[in-house]
Structure 1
Amino acid sequence: MSFFSSIASSLSNFGSTMQKSVTGLLGYEGLEVINPEGGTEDAVEEAQRGRWKQEDRDSYWKMMHKYIGSDVTSMVTLPVLIFEPMSMLQKMAELMEYHYLLDLADECEDPYMRLVYASSFFVSVYYALQRTWKPFNPILGETYEMVNHGGITFIAEQVSHHPPMSAGHAENDHFVYDITSKVKTKFLGNSLDIYPLGRTRVTLKRDGVVLDLVPPPTKANNLIFGRTWVDSSGEMILTNSTMGDKVVLYFQPCGWFGAGRYEVDGYVYNEAEEPKILITGKWNESMRYQPCDMEGEPLQGTELKEVWRVAEAPSNDRFQYTYFSRKINSFDTAPKKLLASDSRLRPDRYALEKGDLTKAGSEKSRLEERQRAEKRIRETKNQQFTPRWFDPSNEIATTPWGDLEIYKYNGKYSEHRVAMDSSTNGEEVDLGSTEFNPWQFADLAAE
C-alpha cells in the first residue's frame, strides 16, 4: 500500500469513529461527514468503488504537483476515467430543465415575483453540480442542438480553444437566453477553485425586461484523494437591468459535518435596495419565498410558499444523471437532421457511455491531436477560426474575476434549422450513423 493510501486509511478509520460519536451526541443519523478543508477520509473507499484506482490517483498526483497555484483550464490533459459521457456544451443545455420558471417570470405582472421565478431558475441549475464526473472539453467548432423541450430551441458552439470559450442561445415564446461561457481556475493540489468568468443574460419578451446574472464561484474538493464533492458559496446577484430591482442570494459554504451545505438565503430588493421578498431553500431540494417588511422580517399573515422543487431523479444511476440529463445525451431532444459537429456524435463520449474506457481514451487523444493539427495549419496560413453561429462583438463585460469578450448569436442557426427541417420531408434520419465532424479543414493532408 502506498504512503498516501496508508494515510488515507488511517484518516478513514478516524473519520468513521468521529462520525459515530458526533452523530450519536447530536442525535443525527445518516449525517454525511464532509471535511471542508479537503481531507482524505474516504480515499480508499472511493478508489475501490469508483473507476479511479488508487495507483492512478498516486501517479496523477505526482504529475499535477507542478500546476499548484495555476489556472489549469486548458493546459492539462486529463485521464478519461474521471469524465462523464457528456460535453460541456451539453452541460450548458442542461440549464434548460426548469425553463418553465422563466416562462412564469415573463407572464408575471408583479416585478418582484418576476425575480423570484427567475432567480429560482438560476438556483435550480446547481443540482447538476452534485455530479462529480467531469464533462468533456468541447472541440473547437463543436456544437450542441436541443429541440423538443418545451418549445425551446437551443444551440451552443465552442467559439475559442485558447482560452476555452463557449457561446449559447436558447429561445421560446417567453424568453431569450444568451450566454458567453468562460471559466478561470486555480489548482490548489487536491482541490480546484472555479471562477465563472462569463456572462448570462435573459430577456423576457413580454415587457422586454433584461436580467443579468453574476453567479458565485465553485470549488471542487478532493479531486485526487478522498470522496470528490463540489460546493458553491458566496453571492448570486440577478439584476433587472431595465428597472433596477435585483435579487441577492447567499449560498452558504459547507462546514464540518455538512453544516450549511446546499442552503441558499436572500432577498428581492426594489430599486432603492429595500427588501421586498425573502427567498430561502436548498439548491438540491426546493426554494420558497415570503413577502417581508423593510427590516427583512416576514410580513404578518403571510407564509412561506414553494416556488420550485427538484424533479425526481433515477436511483443508482451510474453517473448520477437526472432524467433530463439522460435526455440530453439521447437523440430525443435532437432535431431530425443533426449538425455533424454535435456533441452526441463524439466517438470518445459514446465509447465512455458504453463503458469502453480504452477506446474512449484513444478517441479523445485522436480528437485532441486533430484539433492541434488544425491549429498549426491556421497559424501557417495566418488564419483565425471563425465560429458559425456566433460572432465576436465589440462589447466587453466586466465580471468580478475579469473582463470578458462577448459573443453574440447571429441568427443563422434559426434559418439553418428551418431549411433542414423542411428538407427532411418528414423522413426519419439515422442520426447515430453520422460521423462527428467539427473540423475546419476537410483534408489535413491536402493542407
Structure 2
Amino acid sequence: MRTSIPFRPDKTTSLWSIMKNCIGKELSKIPMPVTFNEPISFTQRLSEDCEYAHLLDEAAATTDPYHRAALVSAFTISSFSSGAWRTGKPFNPLLGETFELDRRATHGYSCILEQVSHHPPICALHATSERGWTFWQDFSMNSKFRGKYLEVVPTGISHIIFHDNDDHFTWTKVSTTIHNIIVGKLWLENAGKMLVTNHTTGVVCELDYKPYSFFSSAEPRTVVGQVKDVSGKVHLTLNGTWDKQISQEAPGESLTPLTMCPEQASDLKADDANGISKRVLWKRTEHVANFEKMYGFTQMAIESNQIGVFEKGCAVTDARFRMDKNVMEQGDFDMANRVKHLLEEGQRFRRRQYEKTQTRWTPCWFELRDDPVVPGRKSHQYKGGYWEAKDSNNFGAHDIVDIYDISPVASKDPKAAEAADQAKTMNVTY
C-alpha cells in the first residue's frame, strides 16, 4: 500500500470570507470550495473509527466485564485521534455513496458504510469480525458557526455486540469545536461527557473529555473515566489523552494474566505501595513522515483512496471512485471544484428523475428499523448482502445506481467531465 500522497498545495483562502454569512446556520447545506476540504469523503473519514479495531478483538477475548468495558471505552476514544491534526472538511457524501473496508484476510473484519440520507445527512456503518464482535452506527450531526468557532454535535448512536455473551454496548460521541475561524491557526478540541453503557450487564464507563483551559496545568486533550458496576462501585479508572494514549488503573488489586493480552504485558506497571495496577490500553500509531504536509493524514487515511487487491470488485458507488476528491488529491483545486459541481448537478438530475416518476430512493445495504436499546428511536441497520455480492461479483442483482455517472450533465463543463473520467480510476493499483 502507498505511504504518501501529493503534498497539499500552498493555497489559502479566507475562511472568514465564506463563514461570515453563516453565523447560526446549519453548515451541511452551505456550499464550500474544496480549499477547505481534505481529499476524502465523509464515508471514508467515518470508517477511520475502525483504525484500532484490535481493541475490540482484545475486548472479545477477555472474560472480565470491567476490563471489556475499559477496552470498549478506549476504542471509542481512539476514534478521535485521527482528527487531532486535521482541520480540513471531508467531502459531503453523495446519496447512496458507499465505502468498504475489506480487512477479512488481514485483520479478520469487514466494514461497509453507506450514505443513507441527504437531508439530514446520515451515514450508516456496519462492521463485523470473525474474532467475536459486531460494530454499527447510524451517524448524523449538527454543525453550526458561532462567530469565532465552529461547533459539531454528533446525534447518532454507536453500538457494539460481542458474540460470546451478547454484551451490548452503546455510546454517543462528544462534541467537536474548531477554534480560530476568524484569525489565527485553526485547532480543534473534543469536549464533554460520554457514557459507554453495557445494556446486558449494567456496567458503565463514564468518560469526561476535558475542555482546554489557559489557566489549567493539565495536559491538553485529557480524558478521564471510571468503570462502574450497577451499584456505582468503581472497578477501574481510565486516564490519558484522546490524541496519544489511554491507561487503565485497577485500585486495590493486580491485573491477572486472564485479563491481559500478551502484546500488552510489557505495558503493565505495578505500584505495590498503593496497591494499584496500571497498564496502557491504547497508543496512537506513530505519524507517517511529512504527515503535516499531507492534510494531517494517518496511514489509514493515505490508503483510503487507493484501490488495491483487497478493494478489487468493490461496488461502483464506492468513494474511491469519486472524481472530485481524486482530482483534489493531485493538487488541482480549481478543476476539483468544477468536477464537484458536475457531481452535484448529477445528483440533482437523479432527484428530478425520481420526482418525475414518483419513485423514492432507498438505501441499498441498510434499512430503517427500531433501535434495539432506545425505545421510540429508529436507526439505519445493515440488512446484509454486500459482501456476498462482492464475493460472487454480482452487484448487478441489487439495482445499484451509478452515482458518479455525470453524462446527463457533462455538456455543462466538457473539460471538467473529461478530467472526471480520468480521475475515476486514477488510484487503481491491482
* TM class, shorter-length: 0.7 to 0.9
Give 1:86-97 correspondences, 5 Å limit: 86-97=40-51
Distance 1:255 1:333, change over 3 A: farther
Q: How many Å apart are 1:95 and its aligned residue?
A: 1.2
2:128 to 171, 180, 183: 171
Unpaired runs of 5+ residues, structure 2, are: 1-7, 254-270, 411-430
CA distance in 2 between partners of 1:204 and 1:405 (Å): 22
Cα pair 1:197 1:404 within 8 Å, conserved: no
Question: 1:97-130 deviations in whole A, cap 9, x for unaligned?
Answer: 1101001111110100001111111111111121
Secondary structure of 2:354's partner?
Answer: helix
CA distance in 1 between partners of 2:56 and 2:387 (Å): 21
1:288 to 247, 250, 265: 247
1:417 to 387, 390, 393: 390
Q: How many Å apart are 1:89 and its aligned residue?
A: 0.5
Higher-helix-fraction structure: 1
Distance 1:313 1:441, change over 3 A: closer
Counterpart in the other structure of 1:113: 67
CA distance in 1 between partners of 2:195 and 2:11 (Å): 37
Counterpart in the other structure of 1:10: none
TM-score scaled by length of structure 2: 0.81
CA distance in 2 between partners of 1:396 and 1:52 (Å): 47
Q: How many Å apart are 1:183 and its aligned residue?
A: 0.3
Q: How many Å apart are 1:304 and its aligned residue?
A: 1.8
2:140 partner amino acid: K
Cα pair 2:16 2:181 within 8 Å, conserved: no
Q: How many Å apart are 1:64 and its aligned residue?
A: 2.9
Counterpart in the other structure of 2:263: none
Counterpart in the other structure of 1:72: 27
- More moved, 75-84 vs 60-69: 60-69
Counterpart in the other structure of 2:279: 305
2:242 partner amino acid: W
CA distance in 1 between partners of 2:164 and 2:407 (Å): 44
Q: How many Å apart are 1:284 and its aligned residue?
A: 1.4
Secondary structure of 1:67's partner?
Answer: coil
2:26 partner amino acid: D
Cα pair 2:228 2:235 within 8 Å, conserved: yes
CA distance in 1 between partners of 2:355 and 2:219 (Å): 50
Q: Does 1:207 align with 2:165?
A: yes
Cα pair 2:354 2:360 within 8 Å, conserved: yes
2:354 to 370, 375, 378: 378
CA distance in 1 between partners of 2:192 and 2:36 (Å): 27
1:251 to 184, 196, 209: 209
Distance 1:269 1:314, change over 3 A: same
2:30 partner amino acid: V
CA distance in 2 between partners of 1:396 and 1:219 (Å): 30
CA distance in 1 between partners of 2:73 and 2:309 (Å): 25
Question: 1:72-115 deviations in whole A, cap 9, x for unaligned?
Answer: 22x10011011111111111111111101001111110100001
Counterpart in the other structure of 2:418: none
Counterpart in the other structure of 1:101: 55
Give 1:216-227 correspondences, 5 Å limit: 216-227=174-185
CA distance in 2 between partners of 1:62 and 1:203 (Å): 46
Counterpart in the other structure of 1:123: 77
2:223 partner amino acid: V
Q: Does 1:132 align with 2:87?
A: yes
Q: Does 1:159 align with 2:113?
A: no
Secondary structure of 2:72's partner?
Answer: helix
CA distance in 1 between partners of 2:372 and 2:199 (Å): 16
1:220 partner amino acid: I
Secondary structure of 1:377's partner?
Answer: helix
1:141 partner amino acid: G
Cα pair 2:66 2:227 within 8 Å, conserved: yes
1:419 partner amino acid: S
Q: How many Å apart are 1:302 and its aligned residue?
A: 2.2
CA distance in 2 between partners of 1:287 and 1:243 (Å): 24
- Number of corresponding residues: 374
Q: How many Å apart are 1:322 and its aligned residue?
A: 1.4
Q: How many Å apart are 1:422 and its aligned residue?
A: 12
Q: How many Å apart are 1:66 and its aligned residue?
A: 3.1
CA distance in 1 between partners of 2:237 and 2:281 (Å): 12
Q: How many Å apart are 1:185 and its aligned residue?
A: 1.8
CA distance in 2 between partners of 1:257 and 1:284 (Å): 21
Secondary structure of 1:303's partner?
Answer: strand
Distance 1:168 1:422, change over 3 A: closer
Counterpart in the other structure of 1:195: 153
Secondary structure of 1:166's partner?
Answer: strand
CA distance in 2 between partners of 1:334 and 1:347 (Å): 20
CA distance in 1 between partners of 2:373 and 2:358 (Å): 28
CA distance in 1 between partners of 2:11 and 2:147 (Å): 17
Name the Cα RMSD after superposition.
Answer: 2.8
CA distance in 2 between partners of 1:333 and 1:282 (Å): 36
Counterpart in the other structure of 1:181: 139
Unpaired runs of 5+ residues, structure 1, are: 1-48, 424-435
Distance 1:404 1:324, change over 3 A: same
1:406 partner amino acid: S
2:73 partner amino acid: S
2:316 to 317, 340, 343: 340
CA distance in 1 between partners of 2:351 and 2:394 (Å): 33
Secondary structure of 2:237's partner?
Answer: strand
CA distance in 2 between partners of 1:282 and 1:153 (Å): 28
Distance 1:285 1:61, change over 3 A: closer
TM-score scaled by length of structure 1: 0.78
Q: How many Å apart are 1:255 and its aligned residue?
A: 1.5
Q: How many Å apart are 1:405 and its aligned residue?
A: 3.6
Question: 1:232-258 deviations in whole A, cap 9, x for unaligned?
Answer: 111121100111111011111012288
Counterpart in the other structure of 2:37: 83
Percent identity reads 29
Q: How many Å apart are 1:308 and its aligned residue?
A: 1.0
